[in-house]
Amino acid sequence: MASQRPLLIPSPRIQGTEDLPYTPVFTDLLKPISINPKPSSGMDSSIQIENSSVPDSSSRRSVSSIQSKASGGSSVREVSFAELGSKPVRYGSRGADSEGFSMSQKEITDVDARLVYINDPEKTNERFEFAKNSIKTAKYTILTFLPRNLFEQFHRVAYIYFLVIAVLNQLPQLAVFGRGASILPLAFVLLVTAVKDVYEDWRRHNSDRIENNRLASVIVNGQFQQKKWKDIQVGEIIKVSANDTLPCDMVLLSTSDPTGVAYVQTINLDGESNLKTRYAKQETISKLPEEGKISGLIKCEKPNRNIYGFHAYMEIDGKRVSLGPSNIILRGCELKNTAWALGVAVYAGRETKAMLNNSGAPSKRSRLETYMNREIILLSLFLVGLCMVVSVCAAIWLRHNRDELDIIPFYRRKDFSEDEVGNYNYYGWGLEIFFTFLMSVIVFQIMIPISLYISMELVRVGQAYFMIRDTRMYDEASNSRFQCRALNINEDLGQIKYVFSDKTGTLTENKMEFQCASIWGIDYSGRDTRIQDEQVEYSIQDGKVLRPKMKVKVDPELLRLSKSGKDRIERKHVHDFFLALATCNTIVPLITETSDPHVRLLDYQGESPDEQALVYAAAAYGFMLIERTSGHIVIDVEGERQRFNVLGMHEFDSDRKRMSVILGCPDKTVKIFVKGADSSMFSVIDRSLNLNIVQETEGHIHSYSSIGLRTLVVGMRELSVPEFEQWQSNYETASNALIGRVALLRKVANSIESNLSILGASGIEDKLQHGVPEAIESLRTAGIKVWVLTGDKQQTAISIGYSSKLLTSKMTQIIINNNSKESCRKSLEDALIMSKKLTGSGATNITEGSAGAVISLLALIIDGTSLVYILDSELEEQLFELANKCTVVLCCRVAPLQKAGIVALIKNRTDDMTLAIGDGANDVSMIQMADVGIGISGQEGRQAVMASDFSMGQFRFLVPLLFVHGHWNYQRMGYMILYNFYRNAVFVLVLFWYALFTAFTLTTAITEWSSMLYSIIYTSLPTIVVGILDKDLSRMTLMKYPQLYGAGQRQECYNGKLFWVAMMDTLWQSVAIFFVPLLAYWGSNIDGSSMGDLWTIAVVVVVNIHLAMDVIRWTWITHSAIWGSIIATCICVIAIDSVPELPGYWAIFHLVKTGLFWLCLLGIIVGGMIPHFVVKIFVQYYRPSDVQIAREAEKFGNLGELGGGEIEMNPIFDPPRR
Amino acid sequence: MSSGGTNGASQASKKNSKKPKYSRFTQQDLPACKPILTPGWVITAFLSIGLVFIPIGLASLFASEHVVEIVDRYDEDCIPSNSASERLTYIQSTETNKTCIRNLIVPKKMKQPIYVYYQLDNFYQNHRRYVKSRSDLQLRSKEYERDTKTCEPERAHENEPIVPCGLVAWSLFNDTYGFSLNNKILQVNKKDIAWKSDKEHKFGSEVYPKNFQKGPLIGGGKLNESQPLSEQEDLIVWMRTAALPTFRKLYGKIEDDLEANEKITVVIQNNYNTYSFGGNKNLVLSTTSWIGGKNDFLGKAYIAVGGFCLFIVIGFILMYVIKPRPLGDPAFLSWNQNPDGHLN
């Protein structure tokens, strides 16, 4: 399993034949070679075209041999940067090709171009079309806060509804409630939200201010001046020092490195922590702006969010130089390992690629809330229905009594108090009906439960509190707790059906470790490996000790061999092997100081963590890479510095799947070292040489990969003089070719990478995070589909798939790996046919429901290039269909936006909930796209965390998060919503029934204070407490039986059926509450207030008892909330009835003295609850849900038998921590 | 709990650790009672409801049966036959003689106190415009005499506030009843017919009626202007507006026992106009019991609910016997019933 990433490889390049190429190999190998091509003017554009026409990118990265200024060479050749730099260098290691190319394929037209005059910001900005460099992420200013915040808040339809109600209530004709009382609830909600928003925005303001006021060194009138970031303009030249963050996107002009190389870390941009190389153009390298003014014109594309693409021309000194993504450094990157770099700002402020990619997280709304809104529409239809009934009846009543209205005592339309007899509060028949309608809307308003919105917020806060406080989701290694960043989608965690996971850093720790090696047919993977003693790592240099940053486990036997005498034949092979590991790579060694003045740390930086691991391993065995330039490599072999000249390099490409380096060794031989994937290496290894060794190695590789190691095969060959010369001239020809250069270069590489003798193979472990296989297995048992989307290569992805138990040997793999739309279509069709065959039924569509037909499990492995052709085309449908049949989907080499595309593929086509989990900035788009986004607060910066809804330390916490907290949250929230609907509807119906007995005039026997307090004091606390604390099942049960998670996926706690059942229940209970007293007191001398008190108490008691019946776990908090609410209600009723100015004065005291009151109350409670109770018992007994059975089992202790032998148990222990 | 936190050697790192503190509360592990509806519990519950409800139902039926009630609708009959077609004119006229004599037969022995009620039907004392048309402030204290803004259209008379204002007071019931038994007058005690709390706190002892029923349209009874509102018990009873359109209000108490088959003569002053809205007037004499007046509903409802519960008990017992499901039986789990369903 090969593991190289595409590498940036300097290759020698010889151009022009005017003087015979100097062949330094055999004469002066210790001198660096320099190559001297003549810059051929006018080539750039043609090369550009050629580049654009070749879709395969990976081999286009051959670039820029770096000229060394060492003067020892007798023939100094210069490298034409003008030419070389024109080849777009791909730097993202994660398959950004497609985007990069589509961008660079376009010629820049004048319309699309932005013209930047270097070092001339005035001219550049004279049309004021480019953004300044100040950024603004804050939403509000003091002036705009009120209107804008209110505007945003009123996006919630419910709020508008309550606003309308409150406004209506202000009309004198309609004033049902006191004016203040009706606005209070809404005002309270608005205020709380506004305070929260102010706080958040204040923090954003602060961070904006800090960011905008950072200082950068900018050339003004030929002088460097400190300038605040926000004042930087496009066109200005900026100097960035080492470890500085770049203030804007700028084209490199020159760097401290004489060859114009700068290293940048893009961790803030795409989450990759390794160094990337950027180049300044040859034309600008030597121009120091302090001395001679640089002037020129850059014509570049309009700002866009593609961080892997840049396309521009620079006109300088009358020449036209093309610029690519390797010439631009982006805002947010950090300059590393380069003393300084000069660049000209081309995009600033909000137009930088970083900011364009930072388009804030779209606010998410939980699925449950979406469904809830559907039911709220239903409820509003009920509401309208009720109001219609009331107003129609009122109309009939008015019509019927129209002749008597003038004087009847309880209506009396005529007002005789003035001389002129007028109408009193009467606006005509039509308007009266209309007003009745509006008044009934006001009276019945709590049918739409505004308190539910507040309760939901509170419950979510409570749930978040418990999630954050969960000791089982605390990551000791990173000292990070679980974090809830979004507070409105807690309950979505209980309904996840698809998990999209990043691989590196999410499933794995993103720490490659060299595990074992097979050298010359001998397997050195002894069990007694250990972290080696420190002394072997030392390398003394001017009195200072140099030590690699990472320690590697070593095999003592191999270590002894590598240190033993050189004469031994094994030693020679071991030597070559480690030499290959140390040289055949693109690692840049960085020397960093430590607190100990005598010790310096050697940090190997590179794009490929595998290579890093290999180089660390080589260092551990005594082959320490000390220095690497484009021309030579210095390696410390057992304390002895050896210098190797780099004569040539063939970078990695996905066709060859290997890379090679041609070295001039100190012993004046020329050797080629090749490393690559086993599949590609064994085809170029000369089997006739050491057949048995090749076979041995093959066996070892097989055993390595079977334990999930990433393997690489290393081979070498000594080149003879003619061979080398032949290669050199071929190489020259190929690299000068105008057409088909990529293919030619590949051919050259293939010709030299042949007949190799095998050296051995290495096994690298990308360590899985703790508990990942168990977590994935649990997720799968729970019926969650796990998709892995990775930027890594296919082989790596597959090997991780195996080690994380995502893939099993029982699965049939479908691999889609195409380069064109047509071939994609064909593979998809083939795969679909195959999947139908394999799943045993060609005709029926296999979904989970009919899974009985599944015979063979399918795994789909698809790469980013194919996805380019599939996504956003009609092939999507087929991919979806195929993916649906597959148990596992692995997407390799996908770009960040493709990750989002894949998530969208599922999200748009199914109703299922998706969850994306990732740790790097490249996962941000996916995290934001998915219904639930989870950021791993790991090694790769904070971007993913910032964009996520939840963040945590380890992948395995997903299991408790979903199965325990998600399940609980969903169950609690689902129940709470239904209960709130029920609770308010019961109350409204009681009011409604009464309206039918008041000549349809909406008098409420229940006082207006009780109406207001009903959903605030009387019944709110218990539902919130139950929403936060109730647990249907214990944590242990939920963890042990992931299948129980299905309750959320099947929407068992909230669905249309439950809603209707709840509404039937509501109807019955309201009838019981209303009509029992009505009939019991019919014709008696009961007064309205007493009756109202009875109804108030009855409805509160019934509603709370209803809740009490559904509570699953009674803690003291639940007890106190529920019984406390009833007591609080009584106290409130008593308090209201103690006000002499209210009509109901003292009614409750008279009421409780009568036996009838208590009989009514008891009758209401029992009569009202019986249907609910009976149905509940029946359902629990004869239609038990899984949750119900598990709960019984939990109580009666036969939980252990639940599995019934059918289920593989996957207990997730809390693993011991290191 | 993970032991990871506890074996961490360095105290310093522990201090910086963000590890959440363990408590049973934060781990949602509070001691809790988890009731489960076992068949035993269910049967016990329903059985006990049934056993409690049926006796209560019987008791209240029995109590209701013992209440003796005489209801006499007199509004129709108290219109002289010659005025029958012009009832409104008759009732609105101040000249006509509105005395009306009714004879009532006591069906059963009635023990004192016998409550005398008037019952109005189809009178919406809970009509929104009606119940709102009063000023409780004004009723309570003299200072708020002018606080009549809620009293439309009975707010002021010639710019002087009406006390008590509003439609409720304006429409005060003003029929009177005189009872006699065998030509001997039966005393009707009209004291303490209103709630004590109302007399003491709600209706001011300083507040005297003013400008009451001075308007062009007389709604009902007049008040003695020399008596404070707190002593106008008929008004206080009337002002406690009824819950339902059919209601009784206490007129007085007869504190003598009445024997069965005795004939009571009632002299009614039929003043109150219910004819304009088709309302009925009834005179009610009723004894009382622990559940109040005569009403069979609760008793029947209790017996019905209790009976239903016993029925349910039988039903459940049958079901448990015929188709038992052991609680917590894993065989009923969905994934055990359909193991393939969980493959993907």
Consult the annotation and say whether A919 binds a ligand: yes
Q: Would you call B3 and A1216 a contact, using CB atoms and an 8 Å cutoff?
A: yes
The CA distance from A796 to A788, in Å, is 12
Distant-in-sequence, close-in-space partners of A811: CB < 8 Å, separation ≥ 6 = A856, A857, A858, A859, A887, A888
Backbone angles phi, psi at A850, to 5 degrees: -100, 35
**Tally of CB atoms within 10 A around B87:** 17
Q: Would you call B301 and A1076 a contact, using CB atoms and an 8 Å cutoff?
A: yes
The CA distance from B344 to B342, in Å, is 5
Cα–Cα distances (Å) from A299 to A550, A927, A1039, in that order, read 45, 35, 59
Q: Would you call A1083 and B295 a contact, using CB atoms and an 8 Å cutoff?
A: yes
DSSP A849: T
Q: Would you call B136 and A851 a contact, using CB atoms and an 8 Å cutoff?
A: no
Q: Would you call A1186 and B335 a contact, using CB atoms and an 8 Å cutoff?
A: yes
Structure tokens at A388: 């219609």
What average pLDDT does this structure show over B2-25?
Answer: 59
Q: Would you call B293 and A1083 a contact, using CB atoms and an 8 Å cutoff?
A: yes
Structure tokens at A319: 């020449």
Alpha carbon of B292: minimum distance to chain A alpha carbons (Å): 7
Greater model confidence, B17 or A816: A816
Residues of A in contact with B137 (CB under 8 A): 1141
Residues of B in contact with A1137 (CB under 8 A): none
Residue A1080 is predicted with a pLDDT of: 92
Q: Which residue has the tokens 């260098």?
A: A89
Distant-in-sequence, close-in-space partners of A549: CB < 8 Å, separation ≥ 6 = A592, A601, A602, A603, A604, A616
Residues of B in contact with A409 (CB under 8 A): 123, 130, 167, 170-171, 219-220, 273, 276-277
Consult the annotation and say whether A133 binds a ligand: no
Q: Would you call B155 and A417 a contact, using CB atoms and an 8 Å cutoff?
A: yes
Smallest Cβ–Cβ distance between A1192 and the set B36, B140, B153 belongs to B36
Q: Sign of torsion, CA A744 A747 A753 A754?
A: negative
Is residue A778 within 8 Å of residue A1041, measured between CB atoms?
Answer: no
Which candidate, A219, A222, A217, A273, places its Cα nearest to that of A242? A217
Q: Would you call B37 and A1177 a contact, using CB atoms and an 8 Å cutoff?
A: yes
Pairing mode of beta strands A223-228, A215-220: antiparallel
Consult the annotation and say whether A156 binds a ligand: no
Smallest Cβ–Cβ distance between B30 and the set A781, A1115, A1207 belongs to A1115
Q: Would you call A469 and B241 a contact, using CB atoms and an 8 Å cutoff?
A: no
With a cut of 70, which residues of chain A have pLDDT below it?
A: 1-112, 179-181, 267-274, 288-293, 305, 307-308, 357-363, 417, 526-544, 564-568, 607, 630, 654, 706, 708, 735-741, 793, 839-856, 921, 938-943, 1198-1218
Pairing mode of beta strands A913-918, A496-502: parallel
Residue A1104 is predicted with a pLDDT of: 95
H or E stretch covering A688:
none
The CA distance from A139 to A372, in Å, is 29
Alpha carbon of B181: minimum distance to chain A alpha carbons (Å): 26
Q: For chain A, how are helix, strand and coil distributed in percent, rounded to 5?
A: 45, 20, 35
Query: Radius of gyration of chain B from Cα atoms?
Result: 33
Angle, helices B297-322 vs B39-66, to 10°: value is 160
Three-state DSSP state, A715: strand
Q: Would you call A1159 and B291 a contact, using CB atoms and an 8 Å cutoff?
A: yes
DSSP A1054: S
Chain B contact probe: residue of A391, A408, A1180 with most B CBs at under 10 A: A408
Residue A81 is predicted with a pLDDT of: 32
Confidence (pTM): 0.79
ipTM metric = 0.94
H or E stretch covering B126:
none
The CA distance from A768 to A775, in Å, is 12
What average pLDDT does this structure show over B81-88?
Answer: 75
Residue A287 is predicted with a pLDDT of: 72
Chain A contact probe: residue of B23, B28, B29 with most A CBs at under 10 A: B28
Q: Which residue of chain B comes nearest to A1139, CA vs CA?
A: B202
Residue type, A117: Y
Residue A1207 is predicted with a pLDDT of: 36
Q: Which residue of chain B comes nearest to A1215, CA vs CA?
A: B2
Per residue in A741-788, pLDDT tens?
677 888 888 888 888 888 888 888 877 888 888 999 899 888 898 898
Q: Would you call A416 and B124 a contact, using CB atoms and an 8 Å cutoff?
A: no
Distant-in-sequence, close-in-space partners of A771: CB < 8 Å, separation ≥ 6 = A954, A955, A956, A959, A1212, A1215
Q: Which residue has the tokens 């900005």?
A: A125
Angle formed at CA B250 by CA B248 and CA B255, multiple of 5 degrees: 135
Residues of B in contact with A1115 (CB under 8 A): 30-32
Q: Would you call A1145 and B201 a contact, using CB atoms and an 8 Å cutoff?
A: yes
Consult the annotation and say whether A667 binds a ligand: no
Pairing mode of beta strands A496-502, A785-789: parallel
Alpha carbon of A966: minimum distance to chain B alpha carbons (Å): 14
Q: Which of A475, A502, A523, A1137 is labelled catalytic?
A: A502
Cα–Cα distances (Å) from A394 to A387, A988, A1070, A1092, in that order, read 10, 18, 22, 22
Is residue A317 within 8 Å of residue A294, measured between CB atoms?
Answer: no
Residues of A in contact with B136 (CB under 8 A): 1140-1143
Consult the annotation and say whether A1030 binds a ligand: no
Consult the annotation and say whether A675 binds a ligand: yes
Q: Assess whether A502 carries a catalytic annotation.
A: yes
Number of CB pairs < 8 Å for A and B? 338
Which candidate, A714, A712, A753, places its Cα nearest to that of A577? A714
Structure tokens at A130: 């480019």
Residues of A in contact with B170 (CB under 8 A): 409
Q: How many residues does chain B have?
A: 344
The CA distance from A239 to A341, in Å, is 6
Consult the annotation and say whether A611 binds a ligand: yes
Smallest Cβ–Cβ distance between A425 and the set B129, B202, B249 belongs to B129
Q: Which residue of chain B comes nearest to A1214, CA vs CA?
A: B2
If phi over 0 gives left and psi between -120 and 50 gives alpha, with beta otherwise, what is residue B312? alpha
Consult the annotation and say whether A652 binds a ligand: yes
Residues of A in contact with B293 (CB under 8 A): 1083-1084
Chain B contact probe: residue of A393, A397, A417 with most B CBs at under 10 A: A417
Residue A940 is predicted with a pLDDT of: 55
Q: Would you call B128 and A408 a contact, using CB atoms and an 8 Å cutoff?
A: no
Alpha carbon of B290: minimum distance to chain A alpha carbons (Å): 6
Consult the annotation and say whether A399 binds a ligand: no
Residue A109 is predicted with a pLDDT of: 61
